[in-house]
Structure 1
Amino acid sequence: MISFSADSELLARALSNALAFIPANSRMLNVWMRVNAEAQTVEIVGTDSYAVGASTVPLSGYTGPPEGGEFLIQRGKADTKVAEGAAGIERTIRMAGKGPCDVSVTDVTIQVEPMGGDTLRVALTFAPEQFPLYQHLAGEMEIAEKRDEVIPGVVCLDPALWSRFSKVKTDKSGRMADLLFGDSPLDPVLVKIGPDFRGLMMPIDREVNGKNVGEDGLW
């Protein structure tokens, strides 16, 4: 069992940002949470494998195994009044307002108890085979942050993926997206917005795109 406490406002914002990267038609309909016991943080990630959004939330208390843990929560429906999945957890914490939130995780459920709000328990998704993919994406972001600052020339990006980053909530207004490119037009673009959010956006292969829809739309 894992138990931790975190700021409700930060936790709700991180969940909201992760959910923005899981469209309804995604083949990956879970939010991934990884608790780092040593760093005293929880990383909350959403992806459909084309774009990734990850937020890191500091913990104010932790009880559990020294190696921490990771788990998946079904996306849930954001357009329903019934609290379910990660969307229900986000809404429950957000509605409680400011203050600490206590979180308890067992092998099958996650329970949130925000101060001054309702307690909610939802089932976890048992799909450990998905963990390596999320771990890989988290690792890709760490690798991308160590790149040299280069501009590779032309990069082809899907505007629909950009729209997800416009939904990211930050600690203050006026935050902009800071981009870090690799030295290849096919390297994932690292996006940083504010102090605790980062993401990846996969470029489109320009040559393949040109063959499929015509090169008149390219430089």
Structure 2
Amino acid sequence: MIRINLLPHREARRKELKNQFYALMALSVLVGFGIVIVVGVYFSTQLSAQVERNAFITEKNKELDGKIKEVATLRQEIDALKARQQAVEDLQSDRNQPVFMMNELVRLAPEGLYLLSIKQEGQRVLIKGYAQSHAVVGIFVNDLSSSKWMTRPEIIQNKAVNLGQGRDAKRVIEFDVSVGMRRPRELEAAAASASELPAEKKPADSKSTEKK
């Protein structure tokens, strides 16, 4: 006996497929939403961690800036203390400068030279006097240049004048000379640099002997 199914099985199949499709769509939406949530949580965690790292670095940078400022302040204080110490040492050493200066002037003054006044202003000394001729003034300035205590002599004024009246009048040279005074530490530095020169010249000397 032949049985005929009169139910609309095709429509039922279509409805079943639609239901399956909608179920898959809903499942995919839920899975996608879950993935979005997981990714969002992951990136949010990473972002908050990076923010914490940035805050930590910023805090450490501020601490380093503070330490750098402290170091700069300490350096300024050290430089100020060194300057004060140098000033005290210069004051102590400058007390003996007039003695050295007078000894040098007595030793270097040539014949025919008369010193009228000596005035010290800082590290410069102004010398006024009379000389028999311009040549005597030139000799005096050259001798000052060769002195270890004197430096950079300059002739400010050098002119002929008459001293006295009538038959007693004499033609002399009136001069003003400015010269610098060296401090002991400057002499020590010059001596140290001079002691290093022979060591630097030794290779050149050895080469010259080899050529000979």
Q: TM exceeds 0.5?
A: no
Which TM-score bucket, shorter chain as reference? Answer: under 0.3
Bigger CA radius of gyration? 2
Q: Greater relative contact order: 1 or 2 (C-alpha under 8 angstroms, separation 6 or more)?
A: 1
TM-score (norm 2): 0.22
TM-score w.r.t. structure 1 length? 0.21
More strand by share: 1
